[in-house]
Amino acid sequence: MSDIMKKTAFRSAPMRIAIFTDNFPPQVNGVVIATLNLIKGLADRGHKIYVIAPRYRRGARAFEHKNVVVRRVFGIPALFYEHFKLTSFFSFRILNYLREEKIQLIHFPSPITLGLEAVILSRLLKLPLVGTFHTFFADPGYLKHAHLNHRATERLFWEYSKFFYNRCDLVTSPSQETKKDLLKHGFKSAIEVISNGIDRRVFSNAKAKEVKLKYNPHGPLLLFVGRVAHEKNIFYLLDCFRLVVREIHNAKLLIVGGGPQTDEVKEKIRHLGLADSVVLSGEIEYARFVKSSILGASDIFVTASVTENQPLTVLEAQANGVVCVGIDARGMRDLVRSGYNGFLVKNGDKKAFADAVVKILKHKNLWKKMKRNTLEEIKNHDLNRSLDQWERVLGKLIAESGRG
């Protein structure tokens, strides 16, 4: 553990932080939710947060929160990924704005155009810079959207990532496994692991019985939540689920989310003969989803993604005591202790994945034990715990920079 993260009696005075984020409402994804939790959490503790984010269509609902100021900037659609905007990477107006507001530190959660502006302005203003590594966008699953999933492109995108993060005074990562990956790929800045965190108070499962009756009253309900996109490996998940159905005929899989692969996934479901066993709900607004009782109605959360850093959807499931089965890769290893609060299986072994699901469903006592362990383990990712770490880290950097 570095000196930055050593526990001291230090309590941060009110800070003035600028967050340059390419991921912000009306976008809905894991990075957006994690960034909002950080912004609102710090603001609720009395810190002033200035958000620089892309402007979306007129009529989009404005984001408002005490101690948070949002400044929107012009952007054009990024064709490589749905709902993203590319903005200018330098603005004299924003430069002067940060000076006027006496900003003490700059943070960026994604290395796109606003991330680049964060790097440039931090140097011009001599402010400490923190970057959070949320997404393995050099992974073939992400590159496939732009038809760039080649080894040479992967290497290029890792170099691109290092360009951003090696200019930071500190890099944060939600998982230990990701930190190992970053070090392996030559990241030089100090790296601290801070969980995205989860606030269990936002969820409601008051209608869990009704939801269970709606989706599968006579059998177990499996759940996947996330973008219906290449990086989530949903075709693989469907292959595994077909093996589950052979053993447990009345099992159903609920897929919550939308995305560019929706039509292909529908075709895959028909091809596998799973039309009566898989339900596609489409995208559900986040505020509605956490109160929907879907998590409380589900028996197991399943994911076959191998691109995860620290998936918010898994944290959300675990916060509601839902046992998880996933692939033994990257950030999943930080959340699931195989055999304790779920199962992780080797990538490529679809039968082992299906067997893990079947084992939990057929052994009620095992399921109950894993559910208890899940609720115990999730305490390590309590949002207030993460915010405590963020305050120590950011306050220390500001103090050391002489901006306190």
Q: What is the reported pLDDT for 5? A: 41
Quote the pLDDT of residue 403: 85
Quick: pLDDT tens for 158-202.
Answer: 898 999 999 999 999 999 999 999 999 999 999 999 999 999 999
- For the full predicted model, state whether its pTM sits above 0.75: yes
pLDDT at 141: 52
Buried b (16+ CB within 10 A) or exposed e, 251-274: bbbbbbbbbebbeebeebbeebeb
pLDDT of residue 323: 98
Superfamily of domain 3-197+382-401: Glycogen Phosphorylase B; (3.40.50.2000)
Chain centroid to CA 187: how far? 21
**CA gap 308, 226 in Å, rounded:** 11
Q: What's the pLDDT tens digit per position in 342-389?
A: 999 999 999 999 999 999 999 999 999 999 999 999 999 999 999 999
Q: What is the dihedral of CA 341, 180, 399, 50, to 10 degrees?
A: -70
pLDDT at 254: 98
Q: Please, what's the b/e burial string for 368-392 (b: 16 or more CB within 10 A of its CB; e: otherwise)?
A: eebbebbbebbeebbbeebbbbbbb
What pLDDT score does 137 carry? 60
Helices 364-377, 350-362: inter-axial angle, 10-degree rounding: 100
> Residue 10 has what pLDDT?
44
Pick the CATH number of 200-380 from 3.40.50.170, 3.40.50.2000, 3.90.1200.10, 3.40.190.10: 3.40.50.2000
- Condensed to tens digits (0 to 9), the pLDDT of residues 198-246 reads 999 999 999 999 999 999 999 999 999 999 988 899 999 999 999 999 9
Domain ranges of the chain: 3-197+382-401, 200-380
Q: Does the fold of domain 200-380 match that of domain 3-197+382-401?
A: yes
pLDDT of residue 281: 96
Q: How far apart are CA 174 and CA 356, in angstroms?
A: 26
